[in-house]
Amino acid sequence: MDKNISRRTFLATGPLGLVSLRINGLAQTSGVISPQDMVLVNGKIYTMDASKRVVSQVVIRNGRFAAAGNNVAGQAGNLKRIDLKGKTVVPGIIDAHNHIVLVGNRPGWHVLMEDVFTVPDAIKRYQAKVAEVPRGEFITTVGPISAMQFAEQRLPNLSELDAIDRPVYMQAAQGGTQTNSAGKAWLEARGVMVAANGGIAGGGFAGGQTGAALALKLLREQMLTPAARTRNSLEALTYYARLGITTHLDNGAFQSDLPSGGVANENTYTMYNPFLELNAGNRLPARLRFNYLHQDPPDDPKLPTLSQRLKHSYPFFGNAWMKSGGIGEFTGGGVNGLRAIAAAGWRAEDHTLNLDSFRKLVEEREKVNAEIPIKNLHWVISHVPQTTDDLVNRFKAMGGGLLVGWGPLRTGMNVGPAYRTLFDNGIPLGYHSDGGDITAINPWLNFYTMITARNLKGDAVNAGQTLTRQEVLWLATAANKWFVREDDLGSIEAGNRADIAVLDRDFFSVPDEEIKHVQSVLTIVGGKVVHNAAVI
Ligand SMILES: [Zn+2]
């Protein structure tokens, strides 16, 4: 299989007759794909329905599943028939909290490589991109990449990156920032210090005028055109569709009117534009839901931004491909903010990084819940590395839910989340990666950690807190219905939207280490073939 995602694979006319069109001469990656009716047979189809049936056949009509079972192909008449040859099929994966919108808005020709595990393969991935990239423009990877994913436990250095005939800029969630000689020359001419090995200091959440923060700011100022945003947004969604994700719930960015050096910063009012453009052209290869992130100060009852949002926007507004959600991953405004959100009847989500912040969030919600019940609003607390049974039960009593995942790059001992304890508690629990700026989006890297309690390096980081493969898949599919508030996603059953991933290997039986390498060979969203590796 071609390991490089490219427009060639995206536009290839595979056995399913994937149709592509060019619209108004837009970017080469333009492609409108129509839904197709079809019947899939001879699969090992994990439906994740209420009885968790595993069946062999599924019929897709008008973008939805018409039937799933062992003897339903007869209903399909003369529909296009796909022989899955025993492959494992799962419902399209739902990532209930990540930062895909930031990833779409990266400067340069953005290349994702969360499925690359050696430095030489990383170089090859970049080299495969060169032909598309005009001379002088940067090839970039900013955010969801880490030293830990590589066998070498480091990013490529300057001399290795010099094998790529374009300037390269890599800024990793973990493992630093690297460039090559062409990138070094460009950056040094603009005041960025680059070490002899291509390393650039600083970066991360910090803005500022030095090191990687300055480099990222310059790249955004000079290379982040509207066309780049649209191109990179489409590529990002297509890339993750190849890894089986069919629905992303984006959780925003830190607001910055101007191009910033902070990896998590963007203009939170305009960063959806490329996705809106793709949606308007029927070109989204995956579903996008998005929360609005707010950070009004807790001591200002006027809630300058949140009050306007609640007045002038609509929750759960849009179409089946792109739809608004609630407020998150920060609600801002403390109890005042939560009260306003509850009064408006919106969903709210905040994250915790330790036990103190989890306690504070639960207590604030109890205050608000005593005035305005939040029982049916599906309020969420995400990350939850540290929890107690008492606090979890109190949040559960209010009708809240927790999101876990968020683990593959973590280091230390017993760093949480307590996957097993939380799963067994019975509180609504779902899967999120939180990837895009500080960690990985690739679901299989996250699943590996949840199943083995090891980080990507292989270190045990979460003793005793493991889940089974079946449980993890359930969290990332059917359990996430609750978190996106859509009952017709996340399971393969008649009436639901036809979102599936046909896997390249059997997730349920491969050795643990191979879980990290799982990909989809055929991803279908709403009956549209959005990724087809042409191996079936
Ligand atoms: Zn987040």
Digit-by-digit pLDDT tens for the chain (536 residues) are 334 444 333 333 333 333 333 323 223 344 688 899 999 999 999 999 999 999 999 999 999 999 999 999 998 888 999 999 999 999 999 999 999 999 999 999 999 999 999 999 999 999 999 999 999 999 999 999 999 999 999 999 999 999 999 999 999 999 999 999 999 999 999 999 999 999 999 877 767 788 999 999 999 999 999 999 999 999 999 999 999 999 999 999 999 999 999 999 999 999 999 999 999 999 999 999 999 999 999 889 999 999 999 999 999 999 999 999 999 999 999 999 999 999 999 999 999 999 999 999 999 999 999 999 999 999 999 999 999 999 999 999 999 999 999 889 999 999 999 999 999 999 999 999 999 999 999 999 999 999 999 999 999 999 999 999 999 999 999 999 999 999 999 999 999 999 999 999 999 999 999 999 999 999 999 999 999 997 77
Question: What's the 438 CA to ligand 1 centre distance in angstroms?
Answer: 8
Sheet holding 520-525, edge to edge: 54-55, 44-46, 88-91, 500-503, 520-525, 528-532
Pairing mode of beta strands 177-179, 168-174: antiparallel
**How many angstroms separate the alpha carbon of residue 110 from the centre of ligand 1?**
20
Residue 435 C-alpha to ligand 1 middle, in angstroms? 7
Q: What is the pLDDT of residue 261?
A: 94
CA of 72 to the centre of ligand 1 (A): 41
Ligand 1 centroid, distance to 497 Cα (angstroms): 26
Q: How far is the CA of 487 from the centre of ligand 1 (A)?
A: 23
C-alpha 417/C-alpha 382 separation (Å) is 10
Residue 213 Cα, ligand 1 centroid: separation in angstroms? 20
Ligand 1 centroid to Cα of residue 503, in Å, is 27
Tell how far the Cα of 396 is from the centroid of ligand 1, in angstroms.
21
Instruction: Give 261 Cα–ligand 1 centroid separation in angstroms.
Output: 18
Cβ proximity of 247 and 325 under 8 Å? no
Q: From ligand 1's centre to the CA of 297, what distance in Å?
A: 19
Ligand 1 center–CA 266 separation, angstroms? 14
The two three-digit tokens of residue 359, written as one number: 């306690």
Distance 439 CA to ligand 1 centre (A): 9
* Cα 397 to averaged position of ligand 1 atoms, centre (Å): 25
Q: Which residue has the tokens 């083995």?
A: 452
Query: Rounded to the nearest whole angstrom, what is the distance from the C-alpha of residue 287 to the centroid of ligand 1?
Result: 18
Distance 220 CA to ligand 1 centre (A): 21
Compute the distance from residue 534 Cα to the ligand 1 centre, in Å.
34
Q: How far is ligand 1, taken at its centre, from the CA of residue 383, in Å? A: 8
Separation of 250 CA from ligand 1 center, angstroms? 8
State in Å: Cα 371 to ligand 1 middle.
28
Distance 99 CA to ligand 1 centre (A): 6
Inter-CA distances, 372 with 328, 340, 342, 365, 393, Å: 19, 10, 6, 10, 19
236 Cα: distance to centroid of ligand 1 (angstroms): 17
> How confident is the model at residue 38, as a pLDDT?
96
For residue 401 the two structure tokens come to 């839910």
Under DSSP, the state recorded for 244 is T
Residues 6+ apart with CB under 8 A from 206: 213, 261, 262
* Secondary element (H or E) of residue 367: helix 355-371
Ligand 1 centre to CA of 212 (Å) is: 21
Q: 255 CA distance to ligand 1 centroid (A)?
A: 14
Dist. CA 98 → ligand 1 center (Å): 6
434 Cα–ligand 1 center, Å: 4
Distance (Å) from CA 177 to ligand 1 centroid: 21
Distance from Cα 477 to the centre of ligand 1, integer Å: 19
> Given the structure tokens 């219905």, which residue do they identify?
481
Cα(181) to ligand 1 centroid in Å equals: 33
Per-residue confidence (pLDDT) for residue 107, from 0 to 100:
98
Give the position of tokens 């699969």: 43
Give the separation between CA 289 and CA 264, rounded to whole angstroms. Answer: 18
b/e for 273-304, b at 16 or more Cβ within 10 A?
Answer: bbbbbbbebebbbbbbbbbbbbbbebeeeebe
Going from the Cα of 42 to the center of ligand 1, the distance in angstroms, rounded, reads 39
SS3 state of residue 393: helix
Q: What is the pLDDT of residue 204?
A: 72
